[in-house]
């Protein structure tokens, strides 16, 4: 194994982790936005139907908070379940590989 190979593997692992975190943040952000927009539009529509201007909009927006938290939790649990742990290479294995490559 070449000496720079270990740092290259660390960089690739960090890059993959960063991409995963960015994907997770994007998912949560988009889902939160969709839930809030649906709550806002649904509240405005119901307020228009029944003639009570801010009542349903406020109730739906307040009600969207626990729904958003639940959705974030489910997305996080789904992402965590897909993570596969990387088994660390023991130093004795690295020394054997370095000696065999010489």
Whether residue 63 has pLDDT greater than 90 = yes
Q: Tokens 């690739």: give the residue.
A: 12
Q: What is the pLDDT of residue 17?
A: 82
Q: What is the pLDDT of residue 46?
A: 96
Structural domain includes residue 5: no
Structural domain includes residue 35: yes
Structural domain includes residue 16: no
Q: What is the per-residue pLDDT across 29-59, written as a single tens digit (0 to 9) for each?
A: 999 999 999 999 999 999 999 999 899 999 9
Structural domain includes residue 72: yes
Structural domain includes residue 90: no
Structural domain includes residue 4: no
CA distance 34 to 36: 6
Q: What is the pLDDT of residue 53?
A: 85
- Which pLDDT band, with edges at 50, 70 and 90, does 101 fall under? low
- Which pLDDT band, with edges at 50, 70 and 90, does 4 fall under? low
Structural domain includes residue 98: no
- Which pLDDT band, with edges at 50, 70 and 90, does 89 fall under? low
* Cβ–Cβ under 8 Å, residues 76 and 32: no
| Run of H or E including 26 | helix 5-50
H-assigned helices in 51-90: 55-81
Considering its fold, how many domains does the chain have in total?
1
> Directed axis angle between helix 5-50 and helix 55-81, to 10°?
160
| Residue 100, CB-side half-sphere exposure with 13 Å CA sphere | 7
Residue with the larger pLDDT of the pair 44 and 84: 44
Structural domain includes residue 1: no
CA distance 14 to 75: 21
């Amino acid at each position: 194994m070449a000496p720079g190979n270990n740092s290259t593997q660390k960089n690739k692992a960090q890059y993959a982790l960063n991409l995963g975190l960015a994907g997770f943040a994007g998912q949560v952000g988009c889902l939160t936005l969709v839930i809030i927009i649906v709550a806002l539009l649904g509240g405005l529509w119901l307020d228009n139907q029944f003639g009570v201007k801010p009542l349903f909009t406020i109730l739906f927006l307040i009600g969207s908070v626990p729904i958003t938290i639940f959705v974030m939790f489910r997305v996080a649990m789904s992402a965590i379940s897909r993570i596969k742990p990387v088994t660390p290479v023991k130093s004795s294995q690295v020394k054997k590989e370095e000696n065999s490559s010489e």
